[in-house]
Amino acid sequence: MSCPSRFAAGVIAACAAVVAAAMVPRPARAQDGGAPDVTRPRGGYVNPETAARPTSAAVRAVGRIAIDGRLDEPDWSRAPVLSDFIQQLPATGMPATFRTDVRILYDEQTLYVSAVNHDPEPHKAIIAGLERDFNTGQSDIFGLALDTFHDRRNAFLWALNPGGAWRDEQVFNDSRTVVEAWEGVFWSRTRIVPDSGWIVEMAIPMRTLRFNPGTGPQDWGLNLIRRVRRTNETSYWAPLDRQHRLHRMSRAGTLAGLDGLVPGRNLQVKPFALGGQAHGAQVGAAQRGNRGDVGLDVKWGVTPSLTADLTYNTDFAQVEVDQEQVNLTRFSLFFPERREFFIENAGSFTFGDSEERNYRQGASLRDFLFFNSRQVGLTPEGRPIPIVAGGRLSGRAGPMELGFLNMQTQAALGQPAENFGVARVKANLFGQSDLGVLVANRQANDGTTDRWNRTAGVDANLRFGELIVNSYAALSRASDTVSDGSALRVSAAYRGRFWNNSVMYKRVSDRFNPGMGFVRRRAMQQTFATIGAHMRPAIRGIQEVAPHLAVDYYTDLRGGLDTRTVTGGLELQFKPDGLLNVTVADWFDRLETPFAVFPGRTLPVGAYGWREGSLLFTSSQQRPVFGTAGVSGGGFYDGTRRSTNGSVTWRARPDLALEVVGQTNDIRSPSAGAFQANLLGTRVRYAVNPNLFGSAFLQYNTQTRTFSNNVRANWRWAPLSDVFIVYTERQDITTGMRNERSVVMKVTRMVQF
């Protein structure tokens, strides 16, 4: 074991020098280009961490509200005006420079929201796209989050831009899990008013939401956001410090006194029909050639807080293909779930290496996920296996959060017909904490084999202000006994306004293998610790200085050193936005078996040590062209590696954007030889409006020897009812063999009762 003390001391000294320079105050000046310095608005400072949470009374509408962006109904003048927004960025705690006036009304079946977003130059507003689920971080937006159970944990979220595009999400566990694929019926209209600003008007049906159906008045958690992208000003109605987001519902305000709400029957029936053609070496027999099919999805609100989802003859033809990744590690890569049925209410089933935004914890759900829905209906290579039918029940029953899922697949691609069952129960404790259990069963049921895998685990996620404690213990058992094992973790992390520190211990046995999970690394014990700071110096052009030091230490189950990484980093966040991240790392890794780092390239058994450094720059997103650029270099096992990565986005118009991403790795090794692992991808997005848009995505990966493209068009012709046309092609770039070529058209129709 090599001693990293001198290396660590050097890192700390370098970070300290930069921090000391950063803390020297300088006089504030106007921004470049003669624009006013909006980082020091006039008005009183508010501490976002200690400020009282605001409350607004809910007002019942007595007349009809037309969603036309006009706000000319008399009821709007009766609603309280929510306007005292506080900046999160760039001048945390100061009054918003751009005024926002929000009004909220309701009747027994609908919640109405309007926002007048004042802006003397609305023609300069940045619109990052007209398609649904646009990138909110790159755009002017108005948004709201609703905690309809007022549990300070879970929420529904909407964000809209001046062009009328929207993004809707479902959030669980106080920002821990964000379900981007959630969709609910609502109506909205935006209107740009010359020389004045832009207006949002929304109507959200009560049947879209879940809430307590009690007869008396009820309160909902509420927060509101306004972002002006050209100055990077983000402000909130309930103030938030920089490390939090809109859906941090423990810091939200309150919408009080909603009475007489009618949830409706909450029944949605969505049949689909599709037709298409597919060929290729990796296309299963059941999907090959011409095909037509029909299926059905049903969503039923069993209670106002508990929802059942049923699916028959499930098909995910409209799902975008996985993004290629370069893997130069000894362990498997995690690919995120993209299928709508599994993404919706995914937070109810989350169990694993819990992650919190802006906390460094040494592990994430990409390292350990006890229930990974990609195990259902997909091979390890991502090829689809037909799903016969399935169901899910998720939601709340009193203080308990529940999730039950059962799916049945067909025999295909060498896999037997299988049944997948999961049960998840969590009890909310002390407001922001929970204690839960998850059990899962995966069993072949085609009559030819008795293969099964069963897992069970318990987890606790505790929050005490900004201190969080995450822990779990899990067991796996299988018919072959090779997958009988255990895993456990305990961690504590603190992320305040200044400090960012955490410690973690994790142990995974060599035979731990949850049949419905993802485990990146087994037969190991991991100890992780980090210390970091976030400073906000009074320096023109600098928003935050954040140095950190981390130690990641892996041993085998007997305590022998396997891997050790000591990392020092410094991040500079600029005004109005953009950042520079510098990292240096000292590595040790022991190979007990040969490591195939690249097809045909293998590193021999041995102990290796090396050092490397990296630099990553992210430009401001104010301009039509922006991106990232990174370089890294140093040792790599017994040789060297030189890497570059970057991306460029050209926002040509609100309806058209082009993105190019790339990565190169030049590796030279005495034992494995010299080789390159490169990745290139490009994406074009075009939207006529939020209900008619399309994209084309092309990828080229020299490591997997794959060229792939995916072209998609989507027309939403009625609420939650779509027409998809999707073309996919994948080809081996070495042999020229076509792995897949398919085209499919899918039509859905949602009927709501």
DSSP 694-718: EEEEEEEETTTTEEEEEEEEEEEEE
pLDDT surpasses 90 at 106: yes
pLDDT score, position 574:
92
pLDDT score, position 2:
42
CA dist., res. 660 & res. 682, Å (int): 4
User: Residue 521 is which amino acid?
Assistant: R
Q: Which residue has the tokens 């007489």?
A: 260
pLDDT score, position 466:
86
500 backbone dihedrals φ, ψ, rounded to 5°:
-145, 95
Mean pLDDT of 367-394: 90
Residue 708 in domain: no
Helix then strand count (H, E) for the chain reads 3, 44
Rg for the chain, CA atoms, rounded:
26
Residue 468 in domain: no
CA dist., res. 681 & res. 676, Å (int): 17
- CA distances 431 to 153, 260, 349, 399, 493, Å, are 8, 26, 19, 10, 18
pLDDT score, position 358:
76
Residue 250 in domain: yes
* Span 298-329, pLDDT tens digits: 988 888 778 899 999 888 877 777 888 889 99
Lowest mean pLDDT among 157-166, 462-471, 657-666, 709-718: 462-471
pLDDT score, position 265:
65
CATH number at residue 125: 2.60.40.1190
Mean pLDDT of 379-399: 87
Record the pTM.
0.83
Q: How buried is residue 429: exposed, middle or buried, by Cβ count under 10 Å (0-12/13-18/19+)?
A: middle
Residue 210 in domain: yes
Top mean-pLDDT range of 165-174, 348-357, 600-609: 600-609
Q: Are 131 and 145 in contact (CB under 8 A)?
A: no
Is the four-CA dihedral 374, 376, 381, 383 of positive or negative sign?
Answer: negative
pLDDT surpasses 90 at 367: yes
18 backbone dihedrals φ, ψ, rounded to 5°:
-65, -45
**Cis amide prior to 271 (ω within 30 degrees):** no
User: Residue 353 is which amino acid?
Assistant: D
Mean pLDDT of 470-479: 96
Confidence of residue 8 (pLDDT cuts 50, 70, 90): very low
Lowest mean pLDDT among 41-50, 566-575, 669-678, 705-714: 41-50
When comparing pLDDT for 577 and 345, which is higher?
577
Q: Are 186 and 204 in contact (CB under 8 A)?
A: yes
pLDDT score, position 31:
31
Rounded to 5°, angle at Cα 579 from 578 and 585: 160
Q: How buried is residue 67: exposed, middle or buried, by Cβ count under 10 Å (0-12/13-18/19+)?
A: middle
Q: Are 206 and 110 in contact (CB under 8 A)?
A: yes
- DSSP bridge partners of 572: 545, 580
Residue 687 in domain: no
Confidence of residue 215 (pLDDT cuts 50, 70, 90): low
pLDDT score, position 9:
41
Q: What is the largest CA-CA distance in the chain?
A: 79
Q: Name, in order, each residue with C-beta under 8 angstroms of 272's C-beta and a sequence gap of 6 or more.
A: 294, 295, 296, 297, 315, 746, 747, 748, 749
Q: Are 403 and 173 in contact (CB under 8 A)?
A: no
124 DSSP assignment: G
Q: Are 223 and 144 in contact (CB under 8 A)?
A: yes
Cα end-to-end span (Å), the chain: 66
Structure tokens at 91: 């001048």
* Span 616-640, pLDDT tens digits: 999 998 889 999 999 999 999 999 9
Confidence of residue 208 (pLDDT cuts 50, 70, 90): confident
- CA distances 332 to 7, 335, 381, 475, Å, are 30, 10, 11, 21
Structure tokens at 493: 């992390």
Confidence of residue 448 (pLDDT cuts 50, 70, 90): confident
Q: Quick one: which of 350, 315, 341 has its CA closest to 745? A: 315
pLDDT surpasses 50 at 122: yes
Question: In the 3-class helix/strand/coil scheme, how is 55-108 assigned residue by residue?
Answer: EEECEECCCCCCCCCCCCCHHHHHCCCECCCEEEECCCCCECCCCEEEEEEECC
Task: Provide the domain count of the chain.
Answer: 1
Mean pLDDT of 272-286: 87
When comparing pLDDT for 485 and 412, which is higher?
485
CA dist., res. 423 & res. 401, Å (int): 11
Residue 182 in domain: yes
What is the chain's mean pLDDT, rounded?
89
pLDDT score, position 752:
82
* Structural domain that includes position 106: 41-258
Is the four-CA dihedral 32, 38, 39, 42 of positive or negative sign?
Answer: positive
Confidence of residue 16 (pLDDT cuts 50, 70, 90): very low
Structure tokens at 282: 């990796």
- DSSP bridge partners of 615: 582, 631
Lowest mean pLDDT among 54-68, 86-100, 358-372: 358-372
12 DSSP assignment: H
Residue 53 in domain: yes
pLDDT score, position 80:
96
Residue 242 in domain: yes
When comparing pLDDT for 527 and 342, which is higher?
527
Q: Which residue has the tokens 């780092």?
A: 597
CA dist., res. 361 & res. 502, Å (int): 6
CA dist., res. 684 & res. 712, Å (int): 10
What is the percentage of the chain residues whose pLDDT exceeds 90?
A: 68
